[in-house]
Amino acid sequence: MTRKGFTVQPADGGLIVLLPGLGAVSTTFIAGIHAIRKGLAAPIGSVTQMGTIRLGKRTEGRTPLIRDFVPIVPIEELSFASWDLFEDDGYTAAQKAGVLEPALLDAVREELAEVRPMPAVFDREFVKKLDGSYVKSGATKMDLAKQLIEDIERAREASGAARAVMIWCGSTETFLAEAPVHRDLETFEKGLRNNSPDIAPSMIYAYAALKCGVPYANGAPNLSADIPALLELASANGVPVGGKDFKTGQTLMKTILAPGLKARMLGLSGWFSTNILGNRDGEVLDDPGSFKTKEESKLSVLEYILQPDMYPDLYRDLYHKVRINYYPPRRDNKEGWDNIDIFGWLGYEMQIKVDFLCRDSILAAPLVLDLALFLDVASRAGLRGIQEWLSFFFKSPMSPPGVYPEHDLFIQRKKLTNTLRYLMGEEVISHLGEYTLETRETSD
Ligand SMILES: NC(=O)c1ccc[n+]([C@@H]2O[C@H](COP(=O)([O-])OP(=O)(O)OC[C@H]3O[C@@H](n4cnc5c(N)ncnc54)[C@H](O)[C@@H]3O)[C@@H](O)[C@H]2O)c1
């Protein structure tokens, strides 16, 4: 199990998944885990549970399940804790989210009801559309961070789990650019003590997690841990981090289609994406500040995949527009339309239309599971800081300074599987296919 200094410690002792935000995604995730444990459903959409990985040459016939190859915590050994500004327990929150049918919810009612959120660190300045009273109070943001640290320790102890991971499933916060207070850890901690307005609640959760040595991933597009100060803390404390923004409906489609069009050197003149969405996430995104955070995350994808600087004839004039419309009747069942204007040989124009009737939280829940389990693997392997190999799960992947983020789903997937091979001491696979490279012998 070792190679180049990587020793992946065993997965013993259980794992508690800490979830800021007990809304549609969190409750669909927790309910799903219990339903799977009871044999009521299969973990569809989860790479850790259903994915396989080829090892060695194709002729070797070694293709285990990822969870049999990498020491991953079995889902029977997961426990959960959460925070929210509404006091509803997991069952009530899941009912209100309206994602899962009553019959399925009733089958896991007891387990869901056991998840009682802890009071949130919340500030309306960052999520204008929400107003809840179940929140912590403290004279400074540092006081709030200390309360979260106590919550984390208490929850871990009460669960009996050996380790914890935190996945932000809270609402999308308003757009925030990197500010001087985010520059380094010392300045950031001063900002916590001085109540800097540039420190968002999600940053306080991330700070608390990293202080406790708990890996952190951000399922929303707000900055959160993606600032130099918190990356410094992650590095100093040897903690892995990941983010941002779960790659689910429309952007998942975009990162599947765009690499294919580019691979065939087909041109793009326009990509118009619009959505109708009626859950609480949609309501939060109805606020222009929160929408701007999401828009930035959704727009960057094509730019990085298509590389218009390298392919000016194909992508220089691409017009890319993204819209999200809050439309309550659809609840969590989002409908996303894409109109894609492409051109081919001799510049002849064509169109592709995509109408994706998707279920947001059904697509997001397995990502929470995979991120929790892989971040725990990263932690036990001694990895720290940004985990680029987890870009596969994110719309807006974090990348180290000076390196552009990788958005192409297929490169991301290759990076993920090769990282697992590398960690476990297997050869990485280049897909060179040496069997097909036999040459004719030359006589001279
Ligand atoms: N569902 C998807 O497909 C998807 C995809 C990408 C990203 N996301 C992001 O994931 C997050 C969760 O999505 P959702 O559909 O579950 O939303 P949701 O509105 O159902 O749940 C979010 C929950 O977070 C709570 N919350 C807000 N601020 C908080 C804070 N500071 N502390 C604790 N709790 C807080 C809210 O009260 C709410 O219950 C959102 O930011 C969303 O943008 C979702």
408 in the same domain as 310: no
pLDDT-derived band of residue 433, with 50, 70 and 90 as boundaries?
confident
Q: For residue 84, how far is its CA from the centre of ligand 1 (angstroms)?
A: 10
Name which residue sits closest to atom 32 of ligand 1, judged by CA.
120
In this predicted structure, the answer to whether residue 121 has a pLDDT above a threshold of 90 is: yes
Domain boundary among 357, 376, 406: 357
- Helix/strand/coil for 46: coil
Q: Determine the Cα–Cα distance for residues 254 and 407; give it in Å rounded to an integer.
A: 10
Q: From the CB of residue 335, how many other CB atoms can be counted at a distance below 10 Å?
A: 18
Q: For residue 402, how far is its CA from the centre of ligand 1 (angstroms)?
A: 30
Which residues lie closer than 8 Å to 212 by C-beta, 6 or more apart? 149, 152, 153, 164
pLDDT-derived band of residue 437, with 50, 70 and 90 as boundaries?
low
CATH number, domain with residue 262:
3.30.360.10
Q: Determine the Cα–Cα distance for residues 224 and 212; give it in Å rounded to an integer.
A: 16
365 in the same domain as 399: yes
Cross-strand bridge partners of residue 276: 325, 335
Domain range holding 386?
2-246+361-423
Tell me if 340 is assigned to some domain: yes
The reported pLDDT for the residue numbered 169 is 98
326 in the same domain as 373: no
In this predicted structure, the answer to whether residue 442 has a pLDDT above a threshold of 60 is: no
Tell me if 108 is assigned to some domain: yes
DSSP assigned state of 106: H
Name which residue sits closest to atom 9 of ligand 1, judged by CA.
220
Cβ–Cβ under 8 Å, residues 290 and 127: yes
Between residues 268 and 360, the one the model is more confident about? 268
In this predicted structure, the answer to whether residue 436 has a pLDDT above a threshold of 90 is: no
Determine the average pLDDT of the residues in 166-171: 97
Angstrom distances, CA of residue 329 to CA of 4, 219, 332 = 54, 25, 9
Average pLDDT along the chain: 93
| pTM of the full structure | 0.94
**Closest residue by Cα to residue 297 from 220, 393, 213:** 220
Determine the average pLDDT of the residues in 258-265: 96
Structure confidence by residue, pLDDT tens digits, 186-226:
999 999 999 999 999 999 999 999 999 999 999 999 999 99
Structural domain total, the chain:
2
The reported pLDDT for the residue numbered 435 is 66
Bridge pairing between strands 335-343 and 267-277: antiparallel
Q: For residue 265, how far is its CA from the centre of ligand 1 (angstroms)?
A: 38
Structure confidence by residue, pLDDT tens digits, 366-396:
999 999 999 999 999 999 999 999 999 999 9
The reported pLDDT for the residue numbered 5 is 54
DSSP letters of 201-257? HHHHHHHHHHHTT--EEE-SSS-TT-SHHHHHHHHHHT-EEEESSB--HHHHHHHHH
Q: Determine the Cα–Cα distance for residues 41 and 51; give it in Å rounded to an integer.
A: 16
Q: Determine the Cα–Cα distance for residues 217 and 17; give it in Å rounded to an integer.
A: 11
**What radius of gyration, in Å, describes the C-alpha atoms of the chain?**
22
